[in-house]
Structure 1
Amino acid sequence: MSQNKLVPSFDFIAAGKQVLAIEMKGIAQLNKYINSNFRRACEMLFLCTGKVVVMGMGKSGHIGRKLAATFASTGTPAFFVHPGEASHGDLGMVSSKDIVIALSNSGESHEILALIPVLKRQRIPLICITGKPDSTMSKAAEIYLCVHVPEEACPLGLVPTASTTAALVMSDALAVALLRARGFTAEDFALSHPGGILGRKLLLRVSDIMHSGDDIPLTASTASLREAIFEITRKNMGMTVICDTQNIISGIFTDGDLRRVFDMDINFNKVRIADVMTPGGVRIEPDTLAMEALNLMQVRNITSLMVAQGDHLIGVVHMHDMLRAGVI
């Protein structure tokens, strides 16, 4: 019977380290199970023209869900089906082009065993990941991957601990081996994670977040410095681009330039902006990744970039745009 009273002498640190030692021992043993069966499983999965269907009960089911999610996000279309629900209609999700991966430490999961005759009848390949080489599931599988561990980290030998860690590591080995074989790239990963930080960094282009049209702080090269300052104030971007009537860039004038001219003995109403602007200016093309634009801003220690094709102004992107888009 469990107790709620803490024994003062109980050593939580020692208990935690003992768990790590047992689980690391189990993982180390997996090395010998990365063998010809592992290669055959990877080849079968690589050549699959359908989807990978992952099944598992209890804690093995949790590992199976993670495996399916990892596969799906790294170029191997996959989904998880609960074995119990599969017996009541969800097996209809599985087609003859698919491959089933079933996880069970004992290899005797009744819910999965009940499905095997149907899978065999439909000639759906079965890969089993279990800790028991002589189990019913292991013998029924086209390919068997062993994840046997010497012991569980639980002192009772009952709670799935080292065994589920071994199954997780074997699952990751499958997923990453396939990822490498497919030549899967960071951009491929981003396509399946458009809402994540990596997705935004690898997919978002400057053209997606830049200011264009009337939102561009724009001043004619014939305008006065005073007019340029008004434009900076109106557009609230700390700068204005100096262009001719065809939007050909002459230069840029920023808040920093304004502080510089304050030290000059000039008439703000009479001096032309063309006389005090910074000629040229830093620019970037619209199809450049937003992350590259951010890196350029950081290297040049500036807060905005002109977006242009050659000398023709298309837009302006500001550091605040990066913040709003979640690139930073």
Structure 2
Amino acid sequence: MTAALRDVSVEVPAGKIFGVIGYSGAGKSTLIRTVNGLERPTRGHVWVDDVDVASLHGAALREAQKRSGMIFQQFNLLDTVRVRDNVAIPLRLDGTKKDEARRRAEEALEFVGLSDKSDAYPGELSGGQKQRVAIARALVRRPKILLADEATSALDPSTTALIIQLLRDINREYGTTILVVTHEMEVIKDLADEVAVMESGQVVEHGSVLDVFVRPQQPITRDFVGSIIQQKVPRQVIDHLGSAGLWRLLLLGDETAQPLMHGLITQIGVDVNMLHAEMTEIHDRMVGQMIVKVDGTPEQVAAARTYLADRVVSVEDLEA
């Protein structure tokens, strides 16, 4: 028997957006399904609002599950049921009166921007619209926790951006705690406050999204960050230029606006070859990266490194 999760311990702050990232088979979907009792751990506890969901059964478990909503990758809508009635399904299962369920379904559809699609059938909607219906259905019980299992994996980039913004709106408007599982680092960057990185059923790294992007510790984390921020240069570039003075500079905040190259040339006197530069925004902080090749005398190169180290987050020697 293979353990899907091993010695996992994660705390998700209330009202935050928490991301779990990992490759297929890492255990991230199993982890998220323990939060609402769809999966039960063989040992350990799953505390949600001071209630151990892992210990609940029957009616007590069903009542606890009402406090969370879940969004799936494949939408899971009923094709023969109108959009409004798809959204109202959880309320109807709870025994809510038809008129009240309809009113709350319409309210949820208005929030996700689909009030004009109430009478449509899922087959008449785009993939992004279907996912918004699924989000409305997850919201209709007004849950305290929203679980998103690869909610953007089946969507194109522009639609993914719309879903990410909608989830951020939900978090801001309702204070809903959101736990999102994904293999896309772009989603984590744009959506989550904190992230846990999973590999082989374990959490191997955990921290704020900004810290994980700026200082990834584990090889798998560096791989994920590398999908957003380039970590290496091609072998043929190193063979042509040589590795001495080949550096990756990481800049944060105001550091990204400094005239670093001008200072290296005019103050230190080295030659600078800018091979790559990029900036990305993470939670209103600019994160910049430069890959440069610095040439000069050994003394000049050493002075250039000291100059940069005083002005940026890190100066890292690069290899292919």
Fold-level similarity (TM above 0.5)? no
TM-score bracket, normalised by the shorter chain, equals under 0.3
Write 1 or 2 for the structure with the bigger share of strand.
2
Greater relative contact order (CA < 8 Å, ≥ 6 in sequence)? 2
Q: When the two structures are superposed, what TM-score results if normalisation uses the length of structure 2?
A: 0.26
